[in-house]
């Protein structure tokens, strides 16, 4: 991957994180039929098209680091989805807003991601920015699914995924 493409991936990831964190800390309407999976799908497709996703020189270690990282992101996406405060207005609309725990979850996710990156570096695994995009896509997908399921369970609504 060229350095320009790598920079573009990092900028896309930073823009998505900034957008998501900013939106999370403001009260916002939860759309029951929304396509929460669209942005994560685009991020995953971009990441999976990158041939440098798996370091060819250290395949086993690269797959192990990627798998561990993605499992961690799955867990953190669940945690993040549970830190958001949900409430229902008198008109039946459901709203969500991030809490201090949401901020702590973000900090924890960033620390864990740095840890996985450091482990990969210690194992001499080259980690492309595609790993970051894939992780972010999985994180957003899991968080969105957890929120949809929480809304369905808490407010007796259909869980439209």
Query: At 95, is the secondary structure helix, strand, or coil?
Result: strand
Question: Pseudo-torsion of CA 33, 36, 38, 42, nearest 10°?
Answer: 180
112 versus 13: the higher-pLDDT residue is 112
Average pLDDT over residues 91-114: 88
Give percent above pLDDT 90 in the chain.
49
Out of 17-21, 41-45, 80-84, pick the least confident. Answer: 17-21
Exposed (0-12), middle (13-18) or buried (19+): which is 114, by Cβ within 10 Å? exposed
Q: Is the pLDDT of residue 4 over 80?
A: no
What is the rounded distance in angstroms from the CA atom of residue 105 to the CA atom of residue 81? Answer: 10
Place 120 in a pLDDT band, splitting at 50, 70 and 90: very high
* pLDDT tier for residue 20 given thresholds of 50, 70 and 90: confident
Place of tokens 């570096």: 121
What percent of the chain is modeled with pLDDT above 70?
A: 92
Provide the pLDDT confidence category of residue 6 given band limits of 50, 70 and 90. low
Closest CA to 138 of 90, 68, 82, 89: 68
Q: Tell whether the model's pLDDT for residue 62 goes beyond 90.
A: yes
Taking the alpha carbons at both ends of the chain, their separation in whole angstroms is 34
DSSP letter, residue 52: G
- Give residue 113's pLDDT: 85
Are residues 53 and 129 in contact, defined by beta-carbon separation less than 8 angstroms? no
Contact criterion met (CB below 8 Å) for 149 and 159: yes
Mean pLDDT of 96-108: 89
d(CA 32, CA 159): 7
Rounded to 5°, the CA angle 27-20-4 comes to 160
Average pLDDT over every residue of 17-26: 78
Alpha helices per DSSP H over the chain: 3-24, 38-48, 59-83, 100-122, 129-155
pLDDT digits (tens, 9 = 90+) for 141-155: 999 999 999 998 998
pLDDT tens, 66-80? Answer: 999 999 999 999 998
> What's the pTM?
0.81
Question: For residues 31 and 33, what is the distance between their CA atoms, to the nearest angstrom?
Answer: 5
């Amino acid at each position: 991957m060229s350095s320009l493409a790598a920079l573009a991936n990092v900028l896309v990831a930073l823009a998505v994180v900034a957008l998501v964190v900013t939106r999370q800390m403001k009260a916002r309407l939860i759309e029951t039929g929304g396509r929460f999976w669209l942005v994560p799908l685009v991020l995953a497709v971009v990441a999976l098209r990158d041939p440098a996703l798996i370091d060819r020189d250290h395949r086993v270690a690269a797959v192990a680091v990627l798998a561990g990282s993605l499992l961690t992101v799955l867990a953190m996406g669940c945690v993040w989805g549970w830190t958001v405060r949900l409430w229902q207005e008198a008109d039946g609309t459901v709203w969500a807003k991030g809490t201090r725990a949401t901020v702590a979850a973000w900090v924890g996710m960033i620390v864990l991601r740095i840890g996985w990156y450091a482990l990969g570096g210690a194992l001499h695994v080259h980690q492309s920015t595609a790993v970051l995009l894939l992780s972010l896509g999985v994180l957003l997908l899991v968080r969105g699914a957890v929120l949809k399921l929480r809304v369905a369970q808490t407010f007796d609504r259909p869980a439209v995924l």
